[in-house]
Amino acid sequence: MTGCNSSDNDDTQAKESKALNLTLLHINDHHSKLDATDNFTLLLQDKETQVSLGGFPRLVSKVNELASQHENVLKLHAGDAMTGTMYYSLFREELPDTLMMNQVCFDAFALGNHEFDDGNTQLSHFMDKLAEGNCGTPVLAANIEVPESNPIFNKYQPYVIKEFNGEKVAIIGLDISGKTQASSSPSEDTVFLDEVETAQKYIDQLKADGINKIILLSHYTYKNDIAMAKSLRDVDVIVGGDSHTLLGNKTVLEPLGLLPSGDYPTIVNNASGDQVCIVQAWENAKALGELSVSFNAAGQVTECSGHPHLMLGDTFQRDKQPVSEADKALIETQVANTAELSLVDADVATATLLDTYKSKIDEKKAEIIGTSLDNLCAERVPGQNHPHGDICLANSPERDFLNQHGSVMASIVSEAFKAMSLRSDIAIQNTGGVRNSIPAGDVSVGHAFDVLPFTNLLVNLDMTGQEILNTIEDAIDNVVVNNSTGAFPAAANLRFDLDMTAAKGSRISNVEVRRRNESVWSPIQLDATYVVVTNDFIAAGGDRYDAMVPVYNDPARREDTGLLYTDSLINYIKAMTAANQPLSQPAASEMMVQSYTPLP
């Protein structure tokens, strides 16, 4: 097990503590989205307006601006830096993520589940590249243990201690255990410990050493962070990640077309009866969280406040045309009067560094391969409002469709896999593998890579109807039990009614299938065999698709198609274009989920 702890002062003897004011600047889940999110829709002056949002060049500028305004500042990253765009998939050796992170100089980085997507050897390479900079960013994971032979041994630590005016502040890192094991690819000798028990263990140890100001840097979901805060003693602040949660003032954000999941900060009482401040900062470097915390001498939080900063460029479009100078002036006034919005110039050095990679990506991504008549929005669980589907605005018909039937983008991905695999009857895809939406208009290679940034292959599995039902029930149970929302399935030629409140084994009903080249739906036959195409990650049991594993491991029932994940989507779009068929939102009858009862 890695056991190195870092401290700005090796003297850990308890001494009389003093009050402290601290500012936390934080992000999470940037997922290799290093450049800006262009054509992002906000409601500005009550009109749909396309903006350029976030990206590391703006993030660095905003961090530097805010850090210069405060005395005691911590810069924190709550995990999932790697995977998600071509900045990772095309540059696995260079890892521009680490270069961008070292432009910020984070004071701590917590491992997330996606850091393990390509195994511990690649994670070790990421850690080495991060360490090449001058920042010395400590990598944290208190609930992960590995033996000395593991590539990441001695490259991370449970916690780090920072000192401000003689006051020590401890930052403990946590990764989401079950999801990382189920949905990523850690080596078999990587041990994941219980998040809450581990947190309490280190809190108690640090408290005994006289440190009474405790921050958890947690890649554990917003919902889990709230539950954990209530069950722990002596925790003060939780800076979270994993669930890509936008927090903030609903009266400010909802009129902008955004759907915050809670207050920023969310305040609950811990098991000691003291308040805990919980924050998270959305995803994809779109926002920077700013939290101000006041501690008394006893280490209790007496006050916390803050908000996310959405970092905008200075160009605005409506209906694909620049807004008028008069409208731009009105927009700029609204931005200036909204604390959550700011116009941010790109940091020149960071932008120059990023351009080295961006130019190569832009050349590849620019190729137009098709068109879409509609916004094709991603979602994980119906009604979740996952930010991957942000282009489908709140209360729009598109959003209502997602809430009733689930991910449109994942449904189209499933249809693409079925079409490209040549002999499959049914396609099944985990919605967590579908990482973005495609807006109406031209569809490019870049869109396809943003939707499917991973390097999986497609496999055909000869499965019985009963095995298909078991697979779907397993996946949905992972959502319910582990809050692993990315495990939620999508499908082509498979549909059913879904009751998330029912017991495992009875959540899906009225299951119907449609065999390849047939037009009629019919009830699934439990003893019949169907050819199911899926990706090799869930086929091998990833995301707890456990019922697929015996089939995947049986050479007589498995066909390795050799089809690459993203290439299959690209080739499907090209085939649709050649047939003069643009992409569009499927009819409700084509969606996997026909009737939906959500969890309370």
Angstrom distance (rounded) from CA 337 to CA 346: 21
Considering its fold, how many domains does the chain have in total? 2
Could you say which of 323, 350, 377 is where a domain stops? 350
Angstrom distance (rounded) from CA 113 to CA 222: 15
Q: DSSP letter string over 372-386? A: ESS-B---SSTT---
Please tell me whether residues 338 and 436 are part of one structural domain.
no
pLDDT at 15: 55
pLDDT at 319: 87
Please tell me whether residues 338 and 400 are part of one structural domain.
no
Q: DSSP letter string over 21-61? A: EEEEEEE---TT--S-EEEEEEEETTEEEEEEE--HHHHHH
Residue 505 has pLDDT above 50, yes or no: yes
pLDDT at 7: 42
Mean pLDDT of the chain: 93
Interval 123-148: pLDDT, tens = 999 999 999 989 999 999 999 999 99
Please tell me whether residues 280 and 390 are part of one structural domain.
no
Residue showing tokens 């889990």: 224
pLDDT category at 549 given cuts 50, 70, 90 is: very high
In 3D space, the residue among 178, 120, 107, 109 whose CA is nearest the CA of residue 149 turns out to be 120
Please tell me whether residues 501 and 584 are part of one structural domain.
yes
Angstrom distance (rounded) from CA 10 to CA 82: 32
- Pair 134, 102: CB distance under 8 Å: yes
Please tell me whether residues 346 and 395 are part of one structural domain.
no
**CATH number of residue 525's parent domain:** 3.90.780.10
Give residue 501's domain range.
366-597
Interval 383-437: pLDDT, tens = 998 888 889 888 899 999 999 999 999 999 999 999 998 889 999 999 999 999 9
4 found inside a domain: no
- Pair 117, 184: CB distance under 8 Å: yes
Please tell me whether residues 385 and 321 are part of one structural domain.
no
pLDDT at 89: 77
The helix or strand, by DSSP H or E, that contains position 169, with its residue range, turns out to be strand 167-175
Please tell me whether residues 340 and 378 are part of one structural domain.
no
What backbone torsions phi and psi does residue 371 show, to the nearest 5 degrees?
-135, 160
Residue 70, classed as helix, strand or coil, is coil
The helix or strand, by DSSP H or E, that contains position 315, with its residue range, turns out to be strand 301-318
- Pair 412, 427: CB distance under 8 Å: no
**CATH number of residue 95's parent domain:** 3.60.21.10
Residue showing tokens 């780090």: 160
360 found inside a domain: no
Interval 360-395: pLDDT, tens = 888 878 999 999 999 999 999 999 988 888 898 888
Proportion of the chain above pLDDT 70, given as a percent: 97
In 3D space, the residue among 497, 518, 492 whose CA is nearest the CA of residue 508 turns out to be 497
395 found inside a domain: yes
Please tell me whether residues 244 and 346 are part of one structural domain.
yes
pLDDT at 320: 83
Mean pLDDT of 326-348: 98
Interval 85-116: pLDDT, tens = 788 878 889 999 999 999 999 999 999 998 99
Cis peptide before 265 (omega within 30 of 0): yes
Please tell me whether residues 418 and 323 are part of one structural domain.
no
Interval 158-206: pLDDT, tens = 999 999 999 999 999 999 998 898 778 899 999 999 999 999 999 999 9
- Pair 241, 112: CB distance under 8 Å: yes
Q: What ranges make up the beta strands (E) of 500-557?
A: 508-513, 522-523, 529-535
Angstrom distance (rounded) from CA 145 to CA 375: 43
Interval 28-42: pLDDT, tens = 999 899 999 888 889
For 560, half-sphere exposure in the C-beta direction (CA atoms, 13 angstrom radius) is: 9
Give pTM, 2 decimals: 0.74
94 found inside a domain: yes
Could you say which of 350, 382, 406 is where a domain stops? 350
141 found inside a domain: yes
Please tell me whether residues 282 and 390 are part of one structural domain.
no
12 found inside a domain: no
Angstrom distance (rounded) from CA 445 to CA 302: 51
Please tell me whether residues 525 and 420 are part of one structural domain.
yes
Task: Give Rg (Cα) of the chain.
Answer: 24
pLDDT category at 259 given cuts 50, 70, 90 is: confident
Angstrom distance (rounded) from CA 33 to CA 55: 7
- For 229-249, letters b (16+ CB in 10 Å) and e give beebebbbbbbbbbbbbbbbe
Surface-to-core class of residue 539, CB atoms within 10 Å of its CB (0-12 exposed, 13-18 middle, 19+ buried): buried
